[in-house]
Amino acid sequence: MGFSTNLQGKIAHEALVSRQDAELRLLEAMKRCINTRLKCDRDYATALSTLASQGLKIDRGDDLVGSVVCSAWKTMMEEMENASKLIKQNADIVETKALDTLNTLYAEKRKVRKAYQEEHIRISQQFTHLSDEVVRKKTEYQKYLEQYKLMRCKFEEIYIKGGKGGRKLDEVRDKYQKACRKLHLTHNEYVLLLCEAVEFEKDFRTVLLPGLLEHQQSLQEAFILTWKQILQDIARNLDLTSDKFRENQRRVELSIDSIRPIEEYKDFTEKYKTTPAEPVKFIFDESLVEESAGKLLPNQLTVDNLTVEWLRNKLTELEASIKENQEKKTVLTNGHNSDSLVNGKSNNEINNRLSLNFEVSKKELNELKCQERKMLKQIELIKTALNELGCEEVPSGCDISIESQPAFIENSTEQGNGSQSTLLNLANPQRLVNMLRKPFRRRSAPSSPVAPPRTKGRRESAPRSEGGDPVALTTNKSLVDEEWFHGVLPREEVVRLLTVDGDFLVRETTRNDECQTVLSVCWGGHKHFIVQTTVEGSYRFEGPACPTIRELIIYQFNSGLPVTQRSGAILHKPIPRERWELNNDDVVLLDKIGRGNFGDVYRAQLKNSQEIVAVKTCRVTLPEEHKKKFLQEGRILKQYDHPNIVKLIGICVQKQPIMIVMELVPGGSLLTFLRKKSASLAEGQLMTMCLDAAAGMRYLESKNCIHRDLAARNCLVGYNNNVKISDFGMSREEEEYIVSDGMKQIPIKWTAPEALNFGKYTSLCDVWSYGILCWEIFSRGGTPYEGMNNTKAREKIDSGYRMPASENTPDEMYRLMLRCWEYKPENRPNFEQVYSVVETLCNAYRATFC
């Protein structure tokens, strides 16, 4: 039975304080009673002494000489006098020792009670303060998040409207960067504060409060032991030797002997027993990062150019605090050891004092250990985040991906028959400030010098691109014309292309509004090296500097030297652009025709073929994770060729904005087409649309592609009302796909129950969606489950409800819809069977009405 496990509750704490007050009152009553007893004993001793004196005044006549009775009486009177002296002596001993000790005990108990209350208030207020700080930091987080979203919107608006230059754009960008920096720093402070709060709450519940209660119990039990010794001294010194008093004394001693400190608070503890406090859960509020463009993740530190120095300083600060904490622990430990070397006296008071000192040291050590554990958790969190950083490149914290950045400013001076470019030294702080004040503009393509000769021992055969032409590293080209220059291709795409040690390519990235060239190499993993600019305006890694980036890459390739000694990465094979990687300059945007999840959609023209195409653009401010999802549609479409699947022409990643170029389907969205043409569409045309969709989905099924977002809004209408499946942003190329990142942005009313309930997707989920698509087609653009919200629709579906057929829907077609909406996926037809049914219905319709 212990305080630490059973008295953590508020009621138990108040009861413990009340118990201490009651014990103090008991001590006061005991002092009053003992003083009264001592006065009585002294009065009694005086009376006995007077009585003995009177008893000795007997007749000394010879008549009583030799009388045994007289001798006995005389002896009795003498012993009565001795008893009087003994009683007075014992009273003096009780007053000078036991009563003084009792007064000391009373004072010590008052002091301990006060210390316990103050300590309990201190750690409780510390916990309350930390909880309030979490709430305050969350409010601050929300404030900076709102500022960040406001400045991001302003920046995107001015950038789209105002182009790539101007003072206003610079001012808005500066404010946007500041808001972004504040948000990221506040995010990290919030994460660390949560980490601190979690550890402190755990320590409060499992160490600090139990430690305080354990310490208090030890003190209380030590007082009880002292209390017992006082009572024993009083009982022993006030013991009267008559049979009557001896019997009374025996009963008192039996009662006193029954006192056991360990049992003192047994009934009390049992009466006020409470369960240990429930853990207070500090959980990251994920709503804070929902609109942070994917840069900030719950319970994860953000490591980028905006926060990396702050994190490193914080790590240094925490490590220094750990060291100071350990020194304090050493001092406390050594202090206790020195106390234990005090000469071994048997004095109980000394032993008790040493015991109390030990308990105090133990409590302080517990607090230091809790502080150390909290700091170690934060250090582990920071080190993990810093270790996950790439070996060379610190990511940008600001999600601005403008490619027209001021990498350098050209100052042309005529010299002879040509001009010379003076590169801006970015190491010069004042020049850097001046550069950032100027409008963004794209770095000029560096000239392409003749490459140095190859070093012996390297492979002589040059790798070839998909078209069969060699990827040359010695021809006189500009950097942007090299096949191994991939523009602003996102890092995830780069990782996919580099598969064998020595594979490399060159790309561009944006860090803190500065366009930088990156050499990406596969070497025991994927490493990314930022091309460094020297004071003279040359380019280098760790070796010699070269006047152009292209010449630097050629030198690095031909020399066979590692890019950096730390990485050991050697360039073996340049990886060319894939066939479907187009140049942004080959696409002319004509007019905006729509807006997608990642950016605007344009009607455009290809310069080479004059072909009119559709172009999806990706907003420049989107983070790399979103660009990866944007390009996923292109990766899937590039391998498909079917009349009912929208055709991919290429992807532009040479510069921002990233674009997906597809065939232009003139009829636009099937949903819009159905609603606009509802009055003129015949049943046969609707049936044919269902057949086109089934043909496209049958093709995807054969390729193990799960679309996951099949709906009328994601289908396009081409010439002769031909339907094409589009929008593959959610698609997955696998037989079965399990969602692991939540069910956000899922089209609830088009999604099969097993996908909604368990996150499990197969092609049979698309069959369910196809049934909804057919319902949309025959309802001529109607809204599924109209009048129901998503939650209500899910409940109705799970209970067996299925939408009724819309007007003029053929019975056979509605029966097919119902088969597509079978609750168990194994009871649904596959797309091969769906296509056969719809084809049969179409043929029957043509035979009847044509």
Answer yes or no: is 780 a known binding residue: no
Answer yes or no: is 259 a known binding residue: no
On whether the CB atoms of residues 588 and 607 are closer than 8 A, the answer is: yes
Angle value at C-alpha 644, between 639 and 649, nearest 5 degrees: 45
**Which residues does 376 contact at the CB level (< 8 Å), separation at least 6?**
322
Answer yes or no: is 541 a known binding residue: no
Answer yes or no: is 658 a known binding residue: no
Handedness of CA 155, 157, 162, 163 (dihedral sign): positive
Angle value at C-alpha 181, between 178 and 186, nearest 5 degrees: 125
Tokens linked to 220: 């209380």
Backbone φ and ψ of 13, nearest 5°: -60, -45
For residue 821, give Cα distances in angstroms to 694, 709, 714, 750, 779.
Answer: 15, 16, 20, 10, 17
Answer yes or no: is 800 a known binding residue: no
* 427 burial via Cβ count (<10 Å: 0-12, 13-18, 19+): exposed
Closest CA to 573 of 623, 631, 523: 523
Can you tell me the distance from the alpha carbon of 322 to that of 61, in angstroms, rounded to the nearest whole number? 95
Answer yes or no: is 653 a known binding residue: no
Tokens linked to 12: 């138990």
Angle value at C-alpha 394, between 393 and 399, nearest 5 degrees: 120
For residue 91, give Cα distances in angstroms to 45, 52, 249.
Answer: 10, 19, 16
Closest CA to 340 of 353, 328, 330, 354: 354
Pairing of strands 648-652, 705-706: unpaired
Can you tell me the distance from the alpha carbon of 557 to that of 559, in angstroms, rounded to the nearest whole number? 6
For residue 510, give Cα distances in angstroms to 19, 409, 692.
Answer: 68, 17, 43
Residue 115's CB is within 10 A of a number of other CB atoms, namely: 15
Backbone φ and ψ of 629, nearest 5°: -65, -35
Can you tell me the distance from the alpha carbon of 542 to that of 552, in angstroms, rounded to the nearest whole number? 11
Answer yes or no: is 121 a known binding residue: no
CA neighbours closer than 13 Å in the CB half-sphere of residue 614: 22
Distance of CA 608 to the CA centre of its chain: 49
**Which residues does 717 contact at the CB level (< 8 Å), separation at least 6?**
665, 666, 667, 668, 669, 670, 673, 723, 724
Answer yes or no: is 595 a known binding residue: yes
Can you tell me the distance from the alpha carbon of 727 to that of 750, in angstroms, rounded to the nearest whole number? 15
On whether the CB atoms of residues 136 and 186 are closer than 8 A, the answer is: no
Handedness of CA 747, 749, 750, 756 (dihedral sign): positive
On whether the CB atoms of residues 487 and 655 are closer than 8 A, the answer is: yes
Answer yes or no: is 362 a known binding residue: no
3-state DSSP call for residue 305? Answer: coil
Answer yes or no: is 136 a known binding residue: no
Give the start-end residues of each E strand in 523-626.
526-530, 532-533, 539-540, 573-574, 581-582, 587-595, 600-606, 612-617
Angle value at C-alpha 666, between 662 and 668, nearest 5 degrees: 85
Can you tell me the distance from the alpha carbon of 574 to that of 483, in angstroms, rounded to the nearest whole number? 8
Can you tell me the distance from the alpha carbon of 197 to that of 90, in angstroms, rounded to the nearest whole number? 59
Active site residues: 709
3-state DSSP call for residue 485? Answer: strand
Three-state secondary structure readout of 178-228? HHHHHHHHHHHHHHHHHHHHHHHHHHHHHHHHHHHHHHHHHHHHHHHHHHH
Three-state secondary structure readout of 803-827? CCCCCCCCHHHHHHHHHHCCCCHHH
Known binding residues for ATP are 593-601, 616
Known binding residues are 593-601, 616
